Amino acid sequence: METQAAQQEQEWIAQARQGDLGAFAHLVQAYQRPVYNLAYRMLGNVQDAEDAAQETFLRAFQHLQTYDPRRKFATWILSIASHHCVDRLRRQRRPCASLDEAMEQGLPPAPEGDPEETAAAREASDEVQRLLLLLGPRDRLTVVLYYWYGMSHSEIAEATASSVSAVKSRLHRARLALAKALQEQREAEARRLPGSRSPQEVEGL
Amino acid sequence: MSHCGNAHQWMSASLDRGLGPEEARALQAHLRACPRCRATWAALQEVDHLLSTHPTVPVPAGFAGRTLARLEARGAAVAARQGRGSVPWPAAGFALAALSLFLWWIALLGLPALLSQAAPAIWSGLRLLGEALAMLARSLIHLLDLLVPFCRGMALAAGALALACSLAAVGGSLRKARVRV
């Protein structure tokens, strides 16, 4: 099954290389989810995520000749998305101070399903995003590729054009920074609410 | 403090499942002794757990369609450009214009003037180098003299051709620019 899918994919790539947009449409369908999610986690709002994901596919189509079929297509296209998102963040050079504002501007639509479950999932997703946006572009990218895409240190090194030891130290630094932020957040919450209740619970009483 | 630094490295390695049994024991021993690192370790584990949930967001409806539309629009522009060849036309036009001017200059004034100016210098140089070389040079110059009318004719024709090409190229690029606007 898997080899069949891989064969099909190689066929699409070969046809798209000849300029076949129909074949490329299949590749867009197959990879839109990982590419869009990477862009969303990197950029933090849906407008920029859509634009960056589209740009990734345009660049992929344009540079399809440089794709080496022995490599995983996913790694290749995610590395295009990665470079594009990091470039974009560098050009923006906006400090990550106004997180709440940034997040309110571009929250994704709620996933369908049980509303209570959805609200909980959304809260977790927001907290993760809030943490990610505390990191610099390259550290954020390393964390996203490691946790979201299950890439190994060496795969991340390949996708981000850096060394394995640089990837390891980025991951280490990023985790420590996030742990510190989380600790501070917890301490602030504890100071504000000595009874360690959330505001909703207090209101509900 | 360096103990804490080591402990941080071990914590990261542990999260990557790359911690040896000896280091794991050392980490545990340090955690028992150091409340700060205990707090850090708890926070690191929470971060790891949070990130491991890697929540995904849905792709907006119509994303693929919009991407392909953008690609088609760009593709049409690229194809239009490639239809005229991949030469940068304005640059080629100016280069051809410069070439035609150069050829005209050589044809009408350049080569004879160049030769007459250079001849005395060539002669004195040749005398120093000796009679044999002078003979060779003289015959070379005779050959050049013979070639001059021929060169002039060729240069005139090439100049005219290059001028025509450059006018066409500049005209084409201007027309194209107008179409694009």
Residues of A in contact with B51 (CB under 8 A): 128, 131, 143, 147, 178
Percent of residues, chain A, with pLDDT higher than 70:
80
Highest mean pLDDT among A132-141, A193-202, B91-100: A132-141
Does any domain span residue A171? yes
Q: Determine the 3-state secondary structure of B27 from DSSP.
A: helix
Residues of B in contact with A182 (CB under 8 A): 43, 46-47
Interface test with B, best of A61, A153, A175 (most B CBs within 10 A): A175
d(CA B102, CA A36): 56
d(CA B127, CA B129): 5
d(CA A16, CA A27): 9
Interval B3-42: pLDDT, tens:
898 899 999 999 998 899 999 999 999 999 999 999 999 9
Confidence of residue B79 (pLDDT cuts 50, 70, 90): low
- The pLDDT, as a whole number, for residue B154 is 80
Instruction: Please give, one letter per residue, the 3-state secondary structure of chain A.
Output: CHHHHHHHHHHHHHHHHCCCHHHHHHHHHHHHHHHHHHHHHHHCCHHHHHHHHHHHHHHHHHCHHHCCCCCCHHHHHHHHHHHHHHHHHHHHCCCCCCHHHHHHHCCCCCCCCCHHHHHHHHHHHHHHHHHHCCCCHHHHHHHHHHHCCCCCHHHHHHHCCCCHHHHHHHHHHHHHHHHHHHHHHHHHHHHHCCCCCCHHHHHHC
- Tell me which residues of chain A have a C-beta less than 8 Å from any C-beta of chain B: 19, 21, 24-25, 28-29, 32-33, 36-37, 40, 46, 50, 53-54, 57-58, 61, 108-109, 111, 121, 124-125, 127-128, 131, 143, 147-148, 153, 168, 171-172, 175-176, 178-180, 182-183, 186
Confidence of residue A205 (pLDDT cuts 50, 70, 90): very low
Does any domain span residue A202? no
Q: How far is A56 from chain B (nearest CA, A)?
A: 10
Contact B7, B34 (CB under 8 A): yes
Q: Would you say residue B47 has pLDDT above 90?
A: yes
Question: Are B40 and A128 a contacting pair at CB < 8 A?
Answer: no
Residues of B in contact with A175 (CB under 8 A): 12, 15, 44, 47-48
Q: Would you say residue A202 has pLDDT above 50?
A: no
Does any domain span residue A200? no
> CB within 8 A of A85, min separation 6: which ones?
A38, A39, A42, A43, A52, A137, A141
Q: Is the dihedral of CA A24, A27, A29, A32 positive or negative?
A: negative
Interval A182-200: pLDDT, tens:
999 888 888 887 665 544 4
Partner residue facing A124 (CB), from B8, B12, B55: B55
Taking CA–CA distances from A181, the nearest residue in chain B reads B43
Confidence of residue B160 (pLDDT cuts 50, 70, 90): confident
Does any domain span residue A203? no
**In terms of pTM, does the model score above 0.80?**
no
Q: Name the residue range of residue A40's domain.
A: 4-194
Taking CA–CA distances from A151, the nearest residue in chain B reads B16
Residues of B in contact with A143 (CB under 8 A): 51
Does any domain span residue A201? no
Q: How far is A21 from chain B (nearest CA, A)?
A: 8
What total of structural domains would you count in chain A? 1
CATH number of the domain that residue A134 is part of:
1.10.1740.10
Does any domain span residue A15? yes
Does any domain span residue A71? yes
Does any domain span residue A185? yes
- Tell me which residues of chain B have a C-beta less than 8 Å from any C-beta of chain A: 8-9, 12, 15-16, 39-40, 43-44, 46-48, 50-60, 63-64, 66-68, 70-72, 74-75
Q: Would you say residue A96 has pLDDT above 70?
A: no
What is the count of residue pairs from A and B with beta carbons less than 8 Å apart?
105
